[in-house]
Amino acid sequence: MKKGALGFLALLLVPCPGAPAAEDLKARAARLQRSAIVVDTHEDVPEQLEKEWVDIGVRQKTGHVDIPRWKEGGMTAPFLAAYVSSGYAASGGAA
């Protein structure tokens, strides 16, 4: 990394006089997220369910995506895509 970029990154870590406290920023971020439509356009749920079927309506012991976690994280619009491998088309299947 170039010295200029490294110096700039170091400046970002230095607190500014009169800057809001970290807790104020956390509370502001939480308010902003609660008032926003939160969209995740890359969920690997369909691919994972093909490997191992689980009920995503209940908290899972493994993995990182299930409906309880979406609700806790403020997710309001998860996007689940149905992916079909190009190998299926080669064998006369879906395209």
For the full predicted model, state whether its pTM sits above 0.95.
no
User: Do residues 30 and 22 make contact, with C-beta atoms less than 8 angstroms apart?
Assistant: no
What is the structure's pLDDT at 86? 78
Mean pLDDT (the chain) is: 79
Statement: residue 50 has pLDDT above 60: yes
What is the structure's pLDDT at 12? 58
The predicted model gives 39-59 an average pLDDT of 84
* Distance, CA of 81 to CA of 46 (rounded, Å): 7
Helix (H, G, I), strand (E, B) or coil at 30: helix
For residue 56, how many other CB atoms are within 10 A of its CB? Answer: 20
Statement: residue 3 has pLDDT above 70: no
Statement: residue 74 has pLDDT above 80: yes
How distant, in Å, are the alpha carbons of 16, 23, 58, 88, 91 from that of 67? 39, 28, 7, 30, 35
**For residue 63, what is the DSSP state?**
S
